[in-house]
Amino acid sequence: MKSFFSKDSYDTPEDMPCYWGDRISLHSRWAFYIPFIKLIFKSRKLAVQGAFDDERWVEVSLKIFEYIEKCGGRFHIKGIDNLRKSVGQPVVIVSNHMSSLETTIFPCLINPVLPMTYVVKESLVKQRVFGPVMRSRDPIVVARKNPKEDLIKVLTEGQKILEKGRSLVIFPQSTRSAEFIPAKFNSLGVKLARRAGVKVIPTAVKTDFWGNSKINFMKDLGPFSRDKPIYITFGEPMEIEGTGKGQHQHVIDFITSHLKEWNAPK
């Protein structure tokens, strides 16, 4: 599968042209959401037909990436080479979760290097529109009602997925949040990596460019904050040692330090 990011880092060019739809909509969020929704419905149709494969997923993800840039998003991505260090060796990618942005653009960043899927909440696969798309990716689905049951499910199903050569992206926070609270960041990703004998790639994101809507049924269609750069950094793959407590703390420190740097006054 073609990789669209050949270097270790990527920064949106300063002269990135503005999307015509963004101009005529007076820079409304709907300049992005209208083509975004069209992409989702097209993907849903393919998923129902059994034709939404990895290549289609990456293509759609890249189009979303490009629309974000043309609607004012400015990406600053580092550590892509850290993904390449694990080519042929599945990993667990553990990241903080700030918005819908990382969910939609991770496939074009990660999947061409490391075929992947997600651990997702049950409501995502039950959605009428997006549900078939998410189900086509064969994710691990957790109910988030019984933590013990979710743990057992992720450990057992996750190990099977990793053994088949597919990497897993896990967001250990209970919900998307602009604030990172270490105490609410569980060690599920590290536990799975330890059980499966694979490495962990710590990942930090700052994606509050894409906000959450206050209207519940439109939560994914929140406002854009064009003054907020988009940051994503992939860390070095880590071996799990002992119980993995040290590696879990490293993931927390990795995310915390990057968010502190990104939030510092410029």
144: pLDDT confidence band, cut at 50, 70 and 90? confident
**At a CB cut-off of 8 Å and minimum separation 6, what does 174 contact?**
144, 184
175: pLDDT confidence band, cut at 50, 70 and 90? confident
Please report the DSSP string for 199-252 in residue order.
EEEEEEEE-TTBPPPSSGGGTTS--B-TTS-EEEEE---B---TTSHHHHHHHH
- For the full predicted model, state whether its pTM sits above 0.75: yes
Measuring CA to CA, how many Å separate 43 from each of 2, 33, 136? 19, 15, 10
| Residue extents of the structural domains in the chain | 10-263
Q: How far is it, in rounded angstroms, from Cα 93 to Cα 219?
A: 25
| Phi and psi torsions of 83, nearest 5° | -70, -40
Tell me what pLDDT residue 191 has. Answer: 96
Span 27-69, pLDDT tens digits: 888 999 999 999 999 999 999 999 999 999 999 999 999 999 9
Q: What percent of the chain has pLDDT over 90?
A: 80
Q: How far is it, in rounded angstroms, from Cα 61 to Cα 104?
A: 6
Helix (H, G, I), strand (E, B) or coil at 12: coil
Which range has highest mean pLDDT (3-17, 56-70, 210-224)? 56-70
Span 94-126, pLDDT tens digits: 999 999 999 999 999 999 999 999 999 998 999
Which CATH code fits 10-263?
3.40.1130
Measuring CA to CA, how many Å separate 209 from each of 14, 101, 130, 140, 198? 17, 8, 22, 27, 33
For the chain, give the mean pLDDT: 93
Span 16-31, pLDDT tens digits: 988 888 889 888 889 9
